Structure 1
Amino acid sequence: MTAPGAHHSGPASAAAWFERAERLAAEFAATAVARDKAGGTAKAERDRLRDSGLLNLIIPAEYGGHGFDWHDTLRIVRIISRADSAMGHLFGFQHLLLATVRLFGEQWPHYYRETARNGWFWGNTLNPLDTRARILPDGPDWLIHGSKSFCSGAMDSDHLIVSALTEAGKLVIAAVPSDRPGIHIHADWDNMGQRQTDSGSVDFHEVRVYDREILRSPGPLGSVFASLRPLIAQLVLTNIYLGIGEGALAEARAYTQSQSRPWFLSSAPSATKDPYVLQKYGEFWVELNATALATDYAARLLDAAWRQENALTAAERAEAAVACATAKVLATRAGLDVTQRLFEVTGARATSAQAGLDRFWRNLRTHSLHDPVDYKLLDLGEWALNGQAPTPSFYS
């Protein structure tokens, strides 16, 4: 007997999985504006993701998953993000956290099998910039005490990736059940964007962590292969941003075609023939398509690096890192431009709360501030001018 949400089989082809993702995205889009206003936990939508089988895409078939590569998994992150970037965020982080287990801990086969068997949804409390949580030895095990912020998807999760510091300041990462005694997940996320990502705070009160739950071999960024984790994180975010931009363009297009009127000084018979409107749509198209090409190229390099496993070289890692940083900059710039300027092609009435077109900018602006692209450009400048590869960290 399988647990609710567990899926050992599914569509026979990748195309069928994409069709399933498109149907789910359309379902999410129908309620996205109302749920954005409401905030809180999207419990029904999270359960739809559980039931869809999509949470197991990146898990190889021999462990009960569907054996997708990163390129196709990230394309589905983008599809969901077009409709609802909060759900795209949670879905993308599921695969980032599974990658974290794979890259940092030798016990990953166990977690892959159990995730596929039990339909686990993973939540994030790995925030290395938040150093308030401490982990101390307690006999053969460990205890975590402290707090974490920006814990996306922790609410309604089944398992958490947790980070804490030892007394000596060493970063330790573990995988623990979300219902472990002493874990208190707070519904205190109330930001202007990404309002249903549950990216609030989590408190740990003497939470027991068994030694077998510590991801110590090779540990955080403990090898060249393990240092792919930040590149996966960057591409998850890049595809969320690109999805937001593409979703904004699609909704703006539908609004312009159905409701926008030409300005009274325009000689165009309709808004869809106004030369200024057409020019802006052309600009949006170029920005987003250039970003998509760069993003898919970076995903191909990531897949090539992923297949190398421990044979991965620093030079191959550097090539992928530069491609990921490039795509991230493009996605941020293009997404912010399209989501801000879409009102210039839809008109004053498109600012109504009912239309909800402002959510695209709010979502992207909120998300993009957590990893400033100025520092990506510094890395890219060092590469372009001095041939210096980005230094592996949790953000590069």
Structure 2
Amino acid sequence: MTVKEQAIRYGTSEFDELIAAVRDDARRRRELPETEHPYRSIRLLKQARFGALRLPAELGGGGASIPELFEALIRLAAADPDVAHVLRAHFWQVEAYLLDKEASGNKEWLRKVAEGAILGNAYTEISSKNVGKLQFNTTLLPDGDRYVLNGTKYYSTGTMYADYIVVTAANERNEAVAAVVPADREGVEIVDDWDGFGQRSTGSGTTRFHNVTVSPNEFSLMEAKTPFNSYLQLFLQAVIAGIAQEIVADAEEIILTRKRTFTYATSDTPAEDPQLQQVVGRLASNAYAAKALVLQAAQALQRTVDSAQNGEVQLSETHQAALEAAEAKVIVDELALQSASILFEVGGSSAVREAKQYDRHWRNIRTIASHNPTVYKERWIGNYLLNDEELPIHEVYF
């Protein structure tokens, strides 16, 4: 696949071919004796300019709406959830640029995205007692006519595959700033030390900055705008919905390739067994519901973007988007985890062989779902309905 002049568009044969190539690469890597990261798949996505799906066609993008993007992400996650998760920070940052695409700095970054660049993140620090507060030990301080960046970030999902890294830091006045630096700049150290039991190849490790030179035009103050964090949250549910789709495909494959059944089964072949048919029906229904919930909530994200004024979303719209993303999370997580468990009802003991790696679905779903625990979502949804207390959208992920 060669680099395209125009970004790939969702719903085309080219898109189908790209997803098939990512799926084939994921299968190949699962059969290897040691872990191989999805560099080939990321390269294919860059060549196809998948990261420019949301850009309008006149900017060289794929012209996708937010619901279309999330449907594309579900497809990608079904093929390889690690690869889809890698792009989470990228698409969120692209959306921020699109909210004010006429701004000079944003224009330049949208141009780079249109050319295939992938953006990574270095946001999270673990020294704070309150996740998401804009308080950073990472610093960006003046040094003559330049600035230097120093600090350590964690959970830098996707950054080891990125071309540029968006870094949050504190300036000399302890104000929050955001810098965008090339991932290969001297002093940037990307450590592949993520040791979670799921999403193992997302590159969610540590990023260190050792006296990294930053020019004045590479950073800006982080303005206190109305938050749009539900975009990040719903992205995770799209990945989970994609995994639910793949569970259905695995169940079909298990049953259709099985030659043996139990002596007390209701049919001589697994495919004709009504009990196994029922399990597949449940898996398919769970996957359908998960996808429908994500795409319904994506409509709220689209309305939020459509209502933006002067590059800033409206409070009422972004709160509604947060509510719908939270409600979707509560159910999508539950349905997908159920599917990851009952998948084994169709396969017997052969399905638990390590070579099959069917347990990866539960591990991946559980890892993603743990980013922002469901209990907090449920509580705030109930508090809003009963007491009209708005969701804490100014906090991380909401």
TM over 0.5: yes
Show the 5 A alignment for 1:7-18: 7-9=4-6, 14-16=11-13, 18=15
Give 1:383 shift: 2.2
Instruction: Give the CA deviation at 1:60.
Output: 2.3
Report the equivalent of 1:256.
255
**Paired residue total:** 385
Q: CA RMSD in A?
A: 2.6
| Structure 2 CA distance for partners of 1:307 and 1:38, relative to 1, 3 Å | farther
Shift of 1:287: 2.3
Match of residue 74 from structure 1: 70
* Pair 1:114–1:267, CA change in 2 (3 A): closer
Distance 1:38 1:383, change over 3 A: farther
Aligned to 1:165: 170
Moved more, 267-276 or 206-215: 267-276
Larger displacement relative to structure 2 (278-287 or 193-202): 278-287
Tell me if structure 1 keeps the 8 A contact 2:19–2:79.
Answer: no
Contact 2:7 2:53 in 1 (8 A): no
Paired residue secondary structure (1:147): strand
In the other structure, the counterpart of 2:156 is 151
CA contact (8 A) 1:21 1:79 kept: no
Query: Where does residue 112 of structure 1 map in the other structure?
Result: 110
Which residue pairs with 1:394 in the alignment?
396
- How does 1:145-294 map onto structure 2 within 5 Å? 145-166=150-171, 170-216=175-221, 219=222, 222-224=224-226, 227-228=227-228, 230-259=229-258, 261-294=260-293
For 2:285 and 2:7, locate their aligned partners in 1 and report how far apart those are by CA, in whole Å.
Answer: 36
Whether the 8 Å contact between 2:290 and 2:336 is mirrored in structure 1 is no
Report how far residue 72 of structure 1 moved.
1.0
Residue 89 of structure 1: which of 82, 85, 88 is its match?
A: 85
Partner SS state of residue 39, structure 1: coil
Cα 1:153–1:12 change in 2 (3 A) is closer
Q: Which deviates more from structure 2 when the two are superposed, residues 272-281 or residues 203-212?
A: 272-281
- 1:98 paired with 2:94, answer yes
Aligned residue in 1 for 2:27: 30
Q: Please give the alpha-carbon distance, in whole angstroms, between the structure 2 residues aligned to 1:11 and 1:371.
A: 32
**Residue segments in structure 2 that go unaligned for 5+ positions in a row:** 128-135
Give 2:130's aligned residue: none
Is 1:380 equivalent to 2:381 in the alignment?
yes
Partner of 1:52: 48
Partner of 2:357: 356
Q: Secondary structure at the match of 2:41?
A: helix
Q: CA deviation at 1:153?
A: 1.6
Task: Specify the alignment match of 2:132 in structure 1.
Answer: none
- Partners of 1:302 and 1:240 lie apart in 2 by 16
**Larger deviation, residues 132-141 vs 203-212:** 132-141
For residues 32 and 360 of structure 1, the distance between their equivalents in structure 2, rounded to whole angstroms, comes to 16
| 2: CA distance, partners of 1:139 / 1:78 | 48
What corresponds to 2:133 in structure 1? none
Partners in 1 of 2:137 and 2:186 — Cα distance?
Answer: 19
Aligned to 1:122: 119
**Deviation string, structure 1 residues 355-381 (Cα, Å, up to 9, x no partner):** 221111121222222221111112211
Superposed CA offset, 1:315-365 (max 9, x none): 222211111111122221111111122112221101112222111112122
SS at match of 2:237: helix
Change in Cα spacing, 1:136 to 1:169, as seen in structure 2 (3 Å) is same
**The 10-residue stretch of structure 1 (190-199 or 8-17) with the greater mean CA deviation from structure 2:** 8-17
* Other structure's SS at 1:115 match: helix
8 Å contact kept, 1:144–1:208: yes
Question: Is this contact kept in 2: 1:60–1:66, CA < 8 A?
Answer: yes
- 1:81 is displaced (CA, Å) by 0.8
Q: Tell me if 1:316 matches 2:317.
A: yes
One-letter amino acid of the structure 2 residue matched with residue 114 of structure 1: K
Deviation at residue 260 of structure 1 after TM alignment: 6.6
The residue number in structure 2 matching 1:136 is: 141
**Distance in 1 separating the partners of 2:10 and 2:156:** 34
* Cα distance in structure 2, aligned partners of 1:171 and 1:102: 22
Deviations for 1:29-73, whole angstroms, at most 9, x for unmatched residues? Answer: 4325236x6335322221111112212111223332222111111
Cα distance in structure 1, aligned partners of 2:137 and 2:242: 33
Residue in 1 that maps onto 2:302: 303
Task: Measure the CA separation in 2 of the matches of 1:147 and 1:5.
Answer: 36
Cα 1:43–1:13, aligned 2, differ >3 Å: closer, same or farther? closer
Give the percent of matched residue pairs that are identical in Structure 1 and Structure 2: 25
Deviation digits for residues 105-150 of structure 1 (CA, Å, limit 9, x no counterpart): 9421110012223x21222212265654233343565322111111
Structure 2 counterpart of 1:87, one-letter code = V
Q: Does the C-alpha gap of structure 1 residues 129 and 64 become closer, same or farther in structure 2, counting only changes over 3 Å?
A: farther
TM-score (norm 1): 0.88
Unmatched segments (≥5 aa) in structure 1: none
SS of equivalent residue, structure 2 residue 31: helix
